[in-house]
Amino acid sequence: MDTLNELLNGFAAALTWQNLIFAFLGCLLGTVIGVLPGIGPVAGVALLIPLTLNMDPTGSIIMLCAIFYGTAYGGTITSVLLNTPGEAASAITTIDGHAMTLMGKAGAALTIAAIGSFVGGTIATLGLVAAAKPLGELGLLVGPPEFFALMVVGISLLVALAGKSMVKALISGALGLLISMVGIDPVAGAPRFTFGMDRLLDGVSFVAVIVGVFGLSEILSYRKGESTVVHAPGFRSLLPTGKEWRRSAPSMARGTGIGFGLGLIPGMTGSVASLLSYGAEKKFSKHRNELGKGAVEGVAGPETANNAHANAALIPLFTLGIPASPTIAVLMGAFLQQGLTPGPTLFTEHSEIAWAIIASLFIGNLLLVLLNVPLVGLWTSILRVPAPILTALILLFMVIGAYTINFSVFDVFVMIGFGLLGLALRHLEIPLAPMVLTLVLGPLMERSLRESLEISQGDFSIFLNRPISLVLIILGVLIICSPLLKLRKPKALMDDPEA
């Protein structure tokens, strides 16, 4: 009953006109980002964080979360209409989605995808509601040693985000740790890695780094595409037939289960959920022989799994403070920028904000259905804007965004510098995700380590003498050692451009 009351209070906060506008803007921007091929949710969220810095924490996180799951909806539109996925998780939808377009069923495909996304996202959010209270109560048992152990589990995700090379992932992670150490030593109070520059005493701006590494490097590495002819479906063709609804229902159920389960596992991205959902349709669908030829199951399953994953991936972040994917790591950075620490203490120290954000997830999923289906023609018209103009507008937005962090030109140069660094890392095939992971978790880990050692007067056994801390450290060590056990990862994860 307490959970229900807190959720209702969350709806009361989320339904204020200010937060409704933020949710709507987030859904709108997320859809636009999803429609644009090549940007993706990581760069999209990173690009728009500067826009939210001066907002109140609740509205800021509501908007960024809406951008995150909005990209999953937007990516479907170009997959179905143009055979060009807007983001990686929608790639598998191109197979049957575009085949349906060629059969004159584009409207039905987009509607089924939108409804499936709504179903998957809503059920995953219900899972977050159910898990929030019991896991949030862990906050009463968490002290600096347990928090340090949680950070060890978080850092261990380097293994899951490593991609093709663990060595390159460690290089990326080490870079993130070095960047996070710039500024004033939190205990000794002495400057470190500032090279005598007063502007670095407060550290390097996280937002400028993220915008540069993900956003600017993405733009700089973007290849000029050919002009595309877009044919948007008419409004009358948007409604699926009764047969298509009946065929989609089991696929949505399977997609929800797969997406939700994989969302809870650190390192699994939305593209893995979509791919495995498509594989499940190949095995269990009554119409499996039609897959690849325009079967509605090939759209319903992956799109449902994609959005169920996006919402379920927020559960480890909200309840344990563990960023399970690169996009979630960027979101965690946004939380910290707003003075909120995701994890068990979020529900004890900022309960009102946490429940308002959860309630906004239900509202955002509904808004996305209303935005996506009737306005398909509008979204596809964005692709008619010439690429040079679109790129110039995005670059202008990034420069303004970096400048407004502290109204300093220095942050613009920081953004440009890290954009070039990100471009070099992409060229060397060094994954960017481990760097942002350690950049976010490094300071938290250092602070909790030092606080723990102050409590124990320098005795490291404090991490082994407390049961929760001990279990978490063992879990982290097992994750780190998993490559030695030759646990094979799915090929899709290895090739995932998000990682």
The pLDDT of residue 493 is above 50:
no
Model confidence pLDDT, tens digit, residues 215-232: 788 778 765 544 445 555
pLDDT in tens, 273-301: 887 788 788 778 888 788 878 888 888 88
Instruction: Read off the pLDDT of residues 402-418 as tens digits, 9 standing for 90 and up.
Output: 776 677 888 889 889 99
Instruction: Name beta bridge partners: 184.
Output: 191
Note the pLDDT tens digit of each residue in 417-449: 998 998 898 889 888 778 877 887 788 788 888
Q: What average pLDDT is seen over the chain?
A: 78
* Whether 107 contacts 144, CB under 8 Å: no
Q: pTM for this one?
A: 0.72
Name the pLDDT band for 107 (thresholds 50, 70, 90).
Answer: confident
Name, of 134-138, 201-205, 363-367, 477-481, the range with top average pLDDT. Answer: 363-367
Q: What is the pLDDT of residues 161-196, one digit of tens each?
A: 666 778 888 888 889 888 888 888 877 778 888 888
Rounded Cα–Cα distance for residues 332 and 341 (Å): 8
Residue range 11-38: mean pLDDT, rounded: 85
Burial class (CB within 10 angstroms; exposed 0-12, middle 13-18, buried 19+) of 250: middle
Measure the CA–CA gap between 242 and 261, rounded to whole angstroms.
29
pLDDT value, residue 117: 84
Instruction: Say what the pLDDT of residue 231 is.
Output: 56
Task: State yes or no: pLDDT of 352 exceeds 80.
Answer: yes
Residue 131 or residue 462, greater confidence = 462
The answer, yes or no, to whether residue 75 has pLDDT greater than 80, is: no
What residue type is assigned to position 90 of the chain? S
pLDDT of residue 383: 59
pLDDT for residue 226 = 46
C-alpha count within 13 angstroms, C-beta hemisphere, residue 235: 3
Q: How much is the average pLDDT of 19-48? A: 80
- For residue 397, what are its two tokens? 């937005």
Is the pLDDT at 494 greater than 50, yes or no?
no
